A and B are shown apart, each in its own frame.
Chain A
Amino acid sequence: MATIGHNNLNAKLVLLGDMGAGKSSLVLRFVKGQFLEFQESTIGAAFFSQTLAVNDATVKFEIWDTAGQERYHSLAPMYYRGAAAAIIVYDITSADSFTRAKKWVQELQKQGNPNMVMALAGNKADLEEKRKVTAEEARAYADENGLFFMETSAKTAANVNDVFHEIAKRLPRAQPTQNPAGMVLVDRPAEGARAASCCS
């Protein structure tokens, strides 16, 4: 059954990050192609699904979009538990949001699925004039921590689909080769560097 041509994957993906960083906007851009200037805050959590074709496989993302405020932190494990992938979102115009993103990375490294594919997304890349976090700093952090990094703009759609595509490519396949998890991790920084290059 598991022919290479019919590799269909379901992958749970969670978006984490500071409030107002643009988590919901990224998802809505990806899932519905929409962008709202004043996207309302997420209360509790929202769930979306979207299927991507990657090479000869399809990946159906089951996406959990979470509330960003620290106050709701205690609910987050419910959503990232068992996730195959996470996008940690920060706002390039907010140093605090980058700090918060690092905390999420730490938490996932401690609590999350050890094989989780993690992406760091510096959102609002269209607001170059207000930038507070440089791409270099973020990329360096991502490389150190085995994440791949992209700067995105939900508003202009820049790199939004790319983040999800890249995650889809990196997901362990349904019938995985016997690679131990550690080996996958070792591979990631290199791939991450390559992926990041698609981001200007």
Chain B
Amino acid sequence: MHETDIHDLSDDADYAAASKQGSSSMTRTDSSKQRSSNDPKDAEIVYLKDNVTIHPTQYAAERISGRLKLVKQGSSLFMTWIPYKGQSSNTRLSARDKNLYTIRALPFSDIQSIRRHTPTIGWQYVIVVSSGLAFPPLYFYSGGVREFLATIKQHVLIVRSSEDANLFLVNNFQDPLQRTLSSLELPGSLANRTPSSLGSPSDGNLENNHILEDGQLRSVQQNNKQRQKSHDPARDISIQVLEKFSLVTRFARETTSQLFRESLVDGHGPTEKRRTNWASKDHQSQEMVSNDVEIVPKRVHVPSDPLEFDKLSLVWGQPRQHPLGLQEWSSFLDSEGRIVDPDALKKRIFYGGVEHNLRKEVWTFLLGYYSYDSTYAEREYVVSVKRSEYETIKTQWQSISPEQAKRFTKFRERKGLIDKDVVRTDRSLSFYEGDDNANVRHMHDILLTYSFYNFDLGYCQGMSDLLSPILFILKDESEAFWCFVSLLERLGPNFNRDQSGMHSQLFALSKLVELLDSPLHNYFKQNDCLNYFFCFRWILIQFKREFENEKTLRLWEVLWTHYPSEHLHLYICIAILKRHRSKIMGEQMDFDTLLKFINELSGQIDLDPVLREAEALCVYAGENGAASIPPGTPPSLPIQDSSMYHQQDDEVL
């Protein structure tokens, strides 16, 4: 029987290998170019200069003047340059053109260098290089370059290049906390050139051509190997420099400068060489803004994490709290048992989870088995109605006689699949261990009943993983069944035969990585890893195999709050990947190695920091992040709402 109906998800028909398109559909499209760009809040203006002007063309009439500001927010310094409105009389420059040049809240962690130019005739100007791109020269019509640099020096680490007195290398290693962070896994001290994934779309090219990277010794060695393969003598000197740099991963910038100077003794420093390289590559010239602009030496160029420093300027994932306890839980309920403020509850659970003995009660709300505005009495009623409904569905398969089963292949097959899986699901937990364990039977019965309740979807490997913790908490067959039903309202598409639910999530993941870590994205692209299948298990069963039981329970209740995003699980993927990005790229992992590496992270992931990072990433990605996730991507509810679950608010904050 060959059924092509989209609703037929049964297991017995031979299914032609379908999704060849799958991976190829996940090609890169242009990333969002905008950084969400409002002036930072709670910011202090530490420098302000009017009449700072750019010369987009040689025509004086087309110069654009504006106001340059340095803004301090928290420990981070930002630069803004906003053109004046309506100041220009010429018609050739539209507001849009002007807007094009606007610099909004450029974080200094993105800035690599600032070069000061003092022409014999005319104004002093500076060229700021960020993420490998030079902004147009900023001409200081009213002076103030020195003050500009002095102000920067007060707030971020800025070092005058030993090779060029007019070149100032910017780093952001002032904050001791940053140092600590950087010593964990960051690329090292040269990571001042944090490319901005949210910046210019051409970042990627730079990354591709110059994965010279810094910090990590391993990465350097790898690159070194590649370099040698390329037999490009021009690069060899860069390699030596890189090797030296690699030794200073954790040292402060001064050391780096010194090494840099040493490698330049013979006058054939990387600047020269790289300039040659760049010219030979087809790098159009964002850096060559005008004739009198030199290419600012961009020394070792590591695909460092674009957010590594920025994150300190974010609310960096609030500290995890203690789990919600009984007393506090009671405060969320009115006298009849309604949850007065479900959003506040969800937020609370997001930040701390739920005490174990409260889970049975709270999970039923989170999963949508109870509605938040139900009373104690209503819930009692729901339980009894649902219990008899469950028994009715269960009877459907229980009443199948052996004779009938002989003629009912699909039933036999499904039962066979479930039989095989329940006996190997979480058997090491005491709840499921031992021969003839009643809970294993409950799991079996729930899954088989579900495969009748949702005959189209049936049973699929992975479902037992999703059910096991729910049954472990609910302990009641009917309630666990209905909670499982609720969960699969959202996660059912993970098991679609055409893998559409998984593909949409993996696709969204690739878009988000592109947005939040373009060097890593580019790495995956170059290494044919863009299908993100190495994250398949994470997503299919919500990290169930990655954490020990207690952590899984915590993670799930956090995810089910759908705060701050329904798709927090994707940000969790990114948070984990980012923690290992240097290793992944440094060791040049191919798809196989990566899959093995990812699978072996099981049991090694520290949940709380990952949650905080995921939250921060989610907040950071903001609307751009939300826009990267196609509508209807699980665990979003399908478009046609089922009446049972509509009470669940899908807030995206």
* A73 CB to nearest B CB, Å: 5
| Sample of 16 more A-B contacts, CB < 8 Å, known A38-B423, A47-B596, A77-B20 | A38-B424, A40-B545, A41-B461, A41-B462, A43-B465, A45-B536, A47-B592, A47-B595, A64-B592, A69-B417, A72-B461, A73-B17, A74-B17, A74-B18, A75-B19, A78-B531
**Interface residue B425 (Cβ < 8 Å from any Cβ of A):** yes
**Interface residue B460 (Cβ < 8 Å from any Cβ of A):** yes
- Does B460 contact A43, Cβ atoms closer than 8 Å? no
CA distance A76 to B19 in the complex (A): 10
Binding site for A on B (CB under 8 A): 9, 11-12, 14-15, 17-20, 22-23, 413, 416-417, 420-421, 423-425, 427, 460-462, 464-465, 495, 497-499, 531, 533, 536-537, 540-541, 545, 592-593, 595-596, 599
CA distance A139 to B8 in the complex (A): 36
Residues of chain B lying within 8 A (CB to CB) of residue A47:
592-593, 595-596, 599
Residues of chain B lying within 8 A (CB to CB) of residue A38:
423-424, 427
Residues of chain B lying within 8 A (CB to CB) of residue A111:
17
- Does A41 contact B23, Cβ atoms closer than 8 Å? no
CA distance A107 to B17 in the complex (A): 10
Residues of chain A lying within 8 A (CB to CB) of residue B462:
41, 43
- Does A71 contact B11, Cβ atoms closer than 8 Å? yes
The 9 nearest A-B residue pairs measured at CB = A44-B536, A20-B420, A38-B424, A47-B596, A74-B18, A43-B537, A38-B427, A69-B461, A44-B537
CA distance A58 to B420 in the complex (A): 37
Q: Which residue of A lies closest to B597 (CB)?
A: A47
Residues of chain B lying within 8 A (CB to CB) of residue A45:
533, 536, 595
Q: How large is the interface on A (under 10, 10 to 19, 20 to 34, 35 or more residues)?
A: 20 to 34
- Does B19 contact A74, Cβ atoms closer than 8 Å? yes
Residues of chain B lying within 8 A (CB to CB) of residue A19:
417, 420-421, 461
CA distance A78 to B24 in the complex (A): 12
Binding site for B on A (CB under 8 A): 19-20, 38-41, 43-49, 62, 64, 67-78, 96, 103, 107, 111
* A20 CB to nearest B CB, Å: 4
- Does A70 contact B12, Cβ atoms closer than 8 Å? yes
* B423 CB to nearest A CB, Å: 6
Residue in A40, A41, A62, A75 whose beta carbon sits within 8 Å of that of B499 in the complex: A75
Residues of chain B lying within 8 A (CB to CB) of residue A46:
595-596, 599
- Does B11 contact A70, Cβ atoms closer than 8 Å? yes
- Does B20 contact A48, Cβ atoms closer than 8 Å? no
* B39 CB to nearest A CB, Å: 44
Residue in A39, A43, A64, A73 whose beta carbon sits within 8 Å of that of B15 in the complex: A73
Residues of chain A lying within 8 A (CB to CB) of residue B12:
70
CA distance A78 to B423 in the complex (A): 29
Residue in B20, B424, B533, B595 whose beta carbon sits within 8 Å of that of A41 in the complex: B424
Residue in B465, B498, B540 whose beta carbon sits within 8 Å of that of A44 in the complex: B540
Q: Which residue of A lies closest to B15 (CB)?
A: A73
* A166 CB to nearest B CB, Å: 23
* A29 CB to nearest B CB, Å: 16
- Does B592 contact A74, Cβ atoms closer than 8 Å? no
- Does B15 contact A78, Cβ atoms closer than 8 Å? no
Residues of chain A lying within 8 A (CB to CB) of residue B465:
43
- Does B20 contact A39, Cβ atoms closer than 8 Å? no
CA distance A77 to B533 in the complex (A): 13
- Does B17 contact A76, Cβ atoms closer than 8 Å? yes
Residues of chain A lying within 8 A (CB to CB) of residue B460:
69, 71
Q: Most chain-B Cβ atoms within 10 A of its Cβ — which of A46, A47, A62, A67? A: A47
A74/B499 contact (C-beta < 8 A), A19-B461, A43-B536, A46-B599 known: yes
CA distance A39 to B427 in the complex (A): 9
Q: Which residue of A lies closest to B460 (CB)?
A: A71
- Does B15 contact A40, Cβ atoms closer than 8 Å? no
Q: Which residue of A lies closest to B594 (CB)?
A: A47
Residues of chain B lying within 8 A (CB to CB) of residue A73:
15, 17
- Does B17 contact A103, Cβ atoms closer than 8 Å? no
